Every structure is written in C-alpha cells, then in structure tokens.
Structure 1
Amino acid sequence: MIETIAIARGPYRAELITLGAALRVLQVPDRNGARANVVLGFANLEDYRGTPRFYGAVTGRYANRIGGALFTLDGVEHRIAANDGANSLHSGPMGLDQQHWDVVALTEDAVTFRHVSPAGHNGFPGSLTVEARYKLEDDGLAILLTATTDAPTVVNLTNHAYFNLGGEASGTTILDHVLRISSSRTTPVGPGLIPTGAFADVSGTPFDFRVPRRVGERIDADDAQLRLGHGYDHNFVIDGAPRCVATLFDPGSGRVLDLHSGEPGLQFYSGNHLAGGPPGTSGRVYAARDGLCLEPQKFPDSPNRPGFPSARLDPGQVYRHDIAFRFRTAAGLEEAFPG
C-alpha cells in the first residue's frame, strides 16, 4: 500500500509518498501570500505505479540515460534493463521510482526514507542502500540523497519534480516562465537522446540561458537538438563551484525558484510529452509543457564516457547529493534576477 506523509513549516507544506519517495505536493505562497501546489502529480495514488512520468520521484540507481543499456566497470560488462528503446532511462523498469521506501525518521517538518536495492537489480552490481531526506526550511525544501554500496557500482540520484510556479491547478503552461541556467555548455545528443561525448558552446543557440529568457521563446526554433528532444530535454554543464545552478520565475504569480546543487550537470526537460494520462492532483489532465523539470545530476551516459565526471561509487564511500528548492517572490524580472 502506498502511504502518504505530510510535513509543514511556516507557509510551506509538502506531501510525499512511500512509492519512489516521491514529492507529490509542495505548497508555496505567491507574491500576495496565497499558497498553491507548484509540482505536478497524480490524483489517484495507484496511478503512480507503472506510469512512466516519474512525478516527484527519486530516480535511479542511475538517473537519466545509459546508452545501449550497458556499461563496463573494472573490465566487467554489465547489461542493465532497457526501457527506452535500446537504452536505459532512470535505470529501467522498476527503478527506485517504483520501489517501496521505508520511513525511518519523521518530524513535523522533515521525513527520511530508506530503500535497499539488492545486488543485480536491473543488472546493476552491488547492494545499494539509499536514503532520501526531505526537510522544509524557512525558504523552501532541502533534499539530501545518500547511498552506500557493498561492491563497486555507478550511482546518479536526483529528484524528478515537475514544476509549474503558476500552480498545478492553474491550467497554464510553463512557456511564459523565465529561466536562467548557470551554464555555458551542453552535452549534445544523438538518436535516443544519448550524449555524443562532445561539448557544445551555448552561445548563439536556443540553449543559452545565461541571461534570463522565456522558456517558450525559442523552444520551437529550427534547431537539430530541439528536434531530437521535441523541445528541451538536455544536460547543461554547470559552471563553477557548488552554487545556485538555475533560477525560475513565473511573472504571473511572482514565485521564484532558486535551485541549489553541487552536481556537475542539470537536465532541463520542458515537459514535451506530458499530454494525456491519468488526472493530476487537481483533477485535470495535463497538457504538453504544463510543467518542467530541473534535475541536477551527473551527466547522462557517464559510465560509458571517460571524458565525463565519474559516477563510480566504491565500498567505504558515501554518495551524497544535496538539493535545495529555495523560494521567494518578486515584482518583476529585475527583482527575480538581481545582478
């Protein structure tokens, strides 16, 4: 049975479920103090089973794609489960998003989930113990993802929340949201959205979000990468040290999201394939681009790309990924994007 856990602090309220340790509801005030849920999810908890949307879930063991559904570690080839054509997406069917997680700690404003993924699950080596801690703070939600293993393996964990800062029930798309990403390069993809191994400068392309731009401004541009993704579904190489990697602003509500992470990449997905499916938490069926994902993580296909940051985890090491969704409000662009 899927259980629901609610936590609250100040103006913020979150609802999470034990399937996938998923964030189902996150209520955030607008510039007038009115609260609304800003993440997408299903109205019926049972719809979280088997529907490949990953709403708010912890994805892994390896978030994003691994080309050919295989990788080699210490000279041993590991064939993992394919679920995206010939490739593995978020570690194949029955990944962490489809697993039951135990609640191991709970307070008014925080909850910690734990799951043990057995050795060989979906083809991955090593038994992996994963914890996900969600804590509401004075300015939003902090997520701590940790993992340990008993054998060398690869790990890449993130949270797969779909945001609409206008509100999940608003009926608006995210095309008028304004986005800034601290990235001067992407990892371009080929067929199946698998990275080619190259790096591409964003200058002069629809992928340049170093200055704030409307998400919809160039989403339908005549660009080979956008055609492959049917919009944005690409990894951005984050510039600099642990920091605010992206800022998202909804001019209508005044809500601003500052995303913090220390990971080297950020997958920006513009919700291109959201149309249809079971009703969302407000009871309406979502349309394409009703939400977007900003997923900090290792690069896609890193286990097969020596030139990418390593995703290896060995016994005795602790994988740690700190994510913070920090919220504020702004009257306009200058206030939303100071400096």
Structure 2
Amino acid sequence: MKIRNVIIVLFAIAIIVNLGCKEKKQARISSVNDKVKTVAHVDSASFVGNVDGKSVNFYRLRNKNKVEATFTNYGQRLISLYVPDNEGRMEDVVLGFNSLKMYQNANEKYFGATIGRYGNRIAKGKFTIQGQAYQLATNNNSNHLHGGVKGFNEVVWEADQISENEIEFHRISPHMEEGYPGNLNVKVNYILTDENELRITYEATTDRSTPVNLTHHSFFNLRGEGNGTINEHILMINANQFTPVDKGLIPTGEMRSVEGTPFDFSQPKPIGQDLETENQQLIFGMGYDHNFVLNDTPKSDSGLTLAARVIEPESGRVMEVFTNEPGLQFYGGNFLNGEAVGKSGKPYTFRGAFCLETQHFPDSPNHSNFPNTLLEPGETYNSICVYKFTNTTIH
C-alpha cells in the first residue's frame, strides 16, 4: 500500500510539473477541445415550478470549449457541471438530482447550493453584537449550521441571465430571518470563462451590523458524479494550519500546525491515504470536515490565492480553487450513505464526493482571534471563489 501511494504521489508531482509548461498545456487544451463530445443534458422542464409563491426555473451557461454549467434559482444551485477528461469525454462532476421535486424531498439539503447567511457552524446558534445577544435557529444538534432551518439553500432567488456564459442571482434576506439582524441585500454572480473557470463573486450590504459568511456547496467527484469514492483523488491544500474542532464540530479557537498530522495536504497526496490514522480530529469528523487556514501565497494573476488543487489520476481531470477568503472547508463526503440516488441513477456512496468551500472560519463571531465576519452598514461584503478545470496527459 505504501509503495502504491508513493507511485500515486509521484504521478501527481509529474502532472503538476507538466501543468507548469504553458505551451504544452495549451496544446493539450486545444487537442481536447477538438475531441469534445456531445453530452446528455438535464431536462430543463423538470426544474420549472413554483415554491413559496415564486417561480422556479432552469438556467444554462456554456463557454467556447463546450463546458457547461446548469442552475436552478431554487437555492441558487449548481445542478450539473460538464468538463472534459484527457480524451475529450465530458462528464458531470457535481452531485445532484434530476428535478426540483427531488431537491425539495432530499435528506441531503446542500448539493450545489449557495450557503448563507453564515456558511458552516455557529456554536449554540449564539453570538453578541455590541452587547446585544442574538439567538439563531439551531438545526445541527444544538448548533446553527449553514444558515439555519431555512437557509439560502431553500429559498427562491431572482435570476438575471446576462449572457450565454454569465448569470446573476439576488435577493434580500429580511431582518431576523433565521435570527440574523438586518436586511441583507445579496448578489451572486457566476461567469463560466473560456479558460474553463467557474468564477463566483458574492456581494452583500446591510442596514444593521450582522455576521456574513457566504460559500458554495457543490459536492465534486472528478471521475463523474456517482462514479465511486474520491479516496484516490490527489489533493493539495495550500495551508500550514487548520482549526481543530470539538465533538460537535465547533472550532476550539486553536489554529494548529498540520505538520505531522493527517491534515497535512501541503504536498499532494491521495485523500484516503491517512484516513485510517488514529487521530481524534478524524474521529470527531468521521474523516475530513475541517477548516484550513490558507497561506497568503501563491496568487493568481488576478490576485487570488491558490487554495487547493485536486487531480483525478484516472481521467486526468484537474480542479484548482482560487479565493480571496482566509479559509477553506474540506469535507470528504463522510455523511453520504448511498440513500441518495443521483442524476445518472447511481447511489451517492460513503466518501463519494468532496467539498472545497471557500470561507471565513466557522464560529468566528465567538472567537476574537479569528478573522472578523461582521458586516457593518455602509460596507460591502465581497467574496470570490474560482473553480478552474484543466486536464493533462503524462508524456
């Protein structure tokens, strides 16, 4: 097993080196684009309906490379994302369902959704602003998770399709929705670039002080949704520290070094390599479900930090994550159990997907040493997440 892991890591390093050769990479992309095949699409009619008196519809983005992303304005969800492998075969790499009704009835509430007002957990649903205590809805045992009982993932958003490759969603979250103070005006823009990037930009303003921490919650499998576990995916997270949690998955307030722990992804390794290590944090999370403290460098040409890189050796698909956020939640699909059956008719099994959610830290309103998440009147919240897809062949 150890020899096999060494081989996989060497393969990953070779891929990364190859990715650095721009001329070869561009040639590969051009070759793949010539071979891209037609893909089967989600039926748009199954996403037309009405929820809470508001119209629900279906939206599609495409770029010149025939990469395609589809959305519904119910929960502002990414339904499907088709990207090519090394042979030009298109595969849908995000988990999800074939109809609006299936999303409404699913036990897993967060597939592809925008999360808010606060992504991740807040202990006991409590925080204080300028001496005033607030009590949020508690929907994760005794804690608040992903915006509450009816978070941004279960409301209908207004949608404006700007062009073939750009869409914008917006809504006003009213004062005291799920316990949060202030009327929060939220706008989320998606652009599918010709560099095969899904670029997500969040903006928000408020009329009262309120914590805000928006994120995107797609579940990815670069072999294709429903195609086995992600344990052999090779992951690099650009972080030297993570925030350990208690048994309720609430951060303790510590920022701990990843060195010498199963949480060290500073060098690429298979996701499953250290999952059987005896470690209390892995026990608490049933695997990986932790926030990583991102390093400041390296940065992209647009000034965003490289947060993570994932390589799927079989298909050669590569996903990179860039952001201006200080943290990244890595979740390894520990609560998937095969009950949910996805778009291709395959069950979503244990560790059959991963999430990489750019964010401020969980429970930040209760930890003064964590980056501040309080948005004040007159300020504009701005968060950017880019998922970039490439593929490569070792020569």
Task: Tell me whether 156-165 or 41-50 shows the greater mean CA deviation.
Answer: 41-50
Q: Deviations over 1:97-118 (max 9, x none)?
A: 0110011343111110111110
Match for 1:31 among 53, 75, 86?
A: 86
Match for 1:138 among 181, 187, 194?
A: 194
How far residue 278 of structure 1 moved from its aligned partner, in angstroms, is 3.5
- Aligned residue in 1 for 2:26: none
Question: Tell me, what secondary structure is at the counterpart of 1:49?
Answer: helix
Question: Tell me, what secondary structure is at the counterpart of 1:226?
Answer: helix
Match for 1:209 among 257, 261, 265?
A: 265
How far residue 49 of structure 1 moved from its aligned partner, in angstroms, is 2.1
User: 2:240, 2:324 → 1: CA distance?
Assistant: 16
Computing the radius of gyration over CA atoms, which structure comes out larger, 1 or 2?
A: 2
User: 1:276, 1:251 → 2: CA distance?
Assistant: 24
Gaps of 5+ in 1: none
Q: Deviations over 1:118-165 (max 9, x none)?
A: 000010000111111111001221111111111110000010011100
Residue pairs, 1:243-254, within 5 angstroms: 243-254=305-316
- Aligned residue in 2 for 1:257: 319
**Aligned partners of 1:70 and 1:77 also within 8 Å:** yes
- Aligned residue in 2 for 1:6: 60
For the pair 1:49 / 2:114, whether they are aligned, the reply is: no
- Aligned residue in 2 for 1:124: 180
How far residue 221 of structure 1 moved from its aligned partner, in angstroms, is 1.4
User: 2:288, 2:373 → 1: CA distance?
Assistant: 24
Q: Deviations over 1:54-81 (max 9, x none)?
A: 0111101000000011100111101000
- Aligned residue in 2 for 1:153: 210
- Aligned residue in 1 for 2:242: 186
Relative to structure 1, is the Cα distance of residues 44 and 277 closer, same or farther in structure 2, using a 3 angstrom cutoff? farther
Match for 1:109 among 155, 165, 176?
A: 165
**Aligned partners of 1:174 and 1:292 also within 8 Å:** yes
Relative to structure 1, is the Cα distance of residues 220 and 43 closer, same or farther in structure 2, using a 3 angstrom cutoff? farther
Question: Tell me, what secondary structure is at the counterpart of 2:248?
Answer: helix
Q: Deviations over 1:308-337 (max 9, x none)?
A: 0000101111111111111111225xx9xx
**Aligned partners of 2:174 and 2:184 also within 8 Å:** yes
Gaps of 5+ in 2: 1-49, 51-55, 298-303
Question: Tell me, what secondary structure is at the counterpart of 2:101?
Answer: helix
User: 1:151, 1:52 → 2: CA distance?
Assistant: 32
Letter in 1 for 2:102: D
For the pair 1:321 / 2:383, whether they are aligned, the reply is: yes
For the pair 1:98 / 2:160, whether they are aligned, the reply is: no
Q: Deviations over 1:255-278 (max 9, x none)?
A: 000100010010000000111334
User: 1:289, 1:145 → 2: CA distance?
Assistant: 29
**Aligned partners of 1:6 and 1:14 also within 8 Å:** yes
User: 1:52, 1:162 → 2: CA distance?
Assistant: 11
Match for 2:286 among 197, 209, 230?
A: 230
How far residue 14 of structure 1 moved from its aligned partner, in angstroms, is 0.5
User: 1:203, 1:53 → 2: CA distance?
Assistant: 34
**Aligned partners of 1:166 and 1:252 also within 8 Å:** yes
- Aligned residue in 2 for 1:269: 331
User: 2:384, 2:181 → 1: CA distance?
Assistant: 24
User: 2:174, 2:356 → 1: CA distance?
Assistant: 29
| Percent sequence identity over aligned pairs | 41
Letter in 1 for 2:358: P
**Aligned partners of 1:43 and 1:283 also within 8 Å:** no
